Structure 1
Amino acid sequence: MTDPIHRQATLAAALRLNESMEHLGDEMRALRTYGKRNRHYIWALAVSLLLDFILTVVVIIVAGQANNANSLANANRNYQIDSCNSGNATRQTSRDLWNYVLSLAEKQPQNETPDRKKQIADFRAYMEKAYAPRDCSQIGK
């Protein structure tokens, strides 16, 4: 049979092995918790990087659209200024035409009466006001 010294040594070794296994189990639980926490961090980092990429793409698209809108606004402003200048040229031509017609009418002997002169002057004043040039420098400001 076994002697009591070997038995005590065997029991002591078994106790140490049991303690080691318990300690190993605690370490494995700690490592499992550590690994789980790290996996969560990795997923959070991956999601964060994905969101950063998506936001970068969105910002690039929005910046491009803003640039296009700005270009379109500038083109529209230039078109409005050109239209205003063209309108002023047309109004000047109309004023010139009416002034020519009114000058001819003033030279007619039947229009030399004070009433007719006043009518021609009133019409000339109305025409100058109606065909007054527009201030094109204020467009888009």
Structure 2
Amino acid sequence: MTEPCSDDDRVRVFAAAERLQDSMTDLGAELATLRAYGQHNRRYIWGLFVSLALDVALSIVVAVVAVQANEASSLANQNRQAQRTTCEAGNQARAVSVQLWNYVLDATKDDPRNQTPERKALIAKFRTYMESAYAQRDCAAADK
């Protein structure tokens, strides 16, 4: 049968049981530490995910803004070119009007009725007005 346990055996068994209990207590504490560390890491992972999502969203917004700025710049260049073309066409039209009025005034120059000093002064005044009214515009100033 079984032999009765000696006191020495009992002390060893109890000591082993206490060591086992201490190990389990230490293991529980270590497990709690690991659980807290895991939760901490999961928060970091979620924060990183949110940061990455915001980064992608902001990159898309920046790309859209860059495309719109490029389109606005292109449209501004087109408008500037159209303005210059319109200015040059206006200058050509004014030059034709000046030529027409000079032709009319020169054609009537030999008429005896236009030889009086009053008529000559009136024609000179009209030519001065015509030159200021039909003066060429500076189309290059629109580009500045």
Q: Which residue of 2 aligns with 1:23?
A: 26
Q: Is the aligned partner of 1:51 residue 2:54?
A: yes
Post-superposition shift, 1:2?
3.7
Gaps of 5+ in 1: none
CA contact (8 A) 1:106 1:120 kept: no
Which ranges of 4 or more aligned residues in structure 1 deviate by more than 4 Å?
none
Q: Is the aligned partner of 1:62 residue 2:40?
A: no
Q: Which residue of 2 aligns with 1:109?
A: 112
The whole-number CA distance in structure 2 between the counterparts of 1:10 and 1:107 is: 145
Q: What secondary structure is seen at the aligned counterpart in 2 of 1:139?
A: helix
Q: Is the aligned partner of 1:72 residue 2:75?
A: yes
Q: Is the aligned partner of 1:38 residue 2:38?
A: no
Q: Is the aligned partner of 1:134 residue 2:137?
A: yes
Post-superposition shift, 1:58?
1.1
* Count of aligned positions: 141
Please, what is the CA RMSD of the aligned residues?
A: 1.1
- The TM-score, its normalising length taken from structure 1, stands at 0.95
Q: What secondary structure is seen at the aligned counterpart in 2 of 1:107?
A: coil
Structure 1 letter corresponding to 2:131? E
Task: Tell me which moved more, 80-89 or 29-38.
Answer: 29-38
The whole-number CA distance in structure 2 between the counterparts of 1:102 and 1:28 is: 109
The whole-number CA distance in structure 1 between the counterparts of 2:116 and 2:43 is: 102
CA contact (8 A) 1:77 1:140 kept: yes
CA deviation profile, 1:74-99 (whole Å, cap 9, x unmatched): 10000000000000000001111111
Gaps of 5+ in 2: none
The whole-number CA distance in structure 2 between the counterparts of 1:88 and 1:24 is: 94
Q: What secondary structure is seen at the aligned counterpart in 2 of 1:86?
A: helix
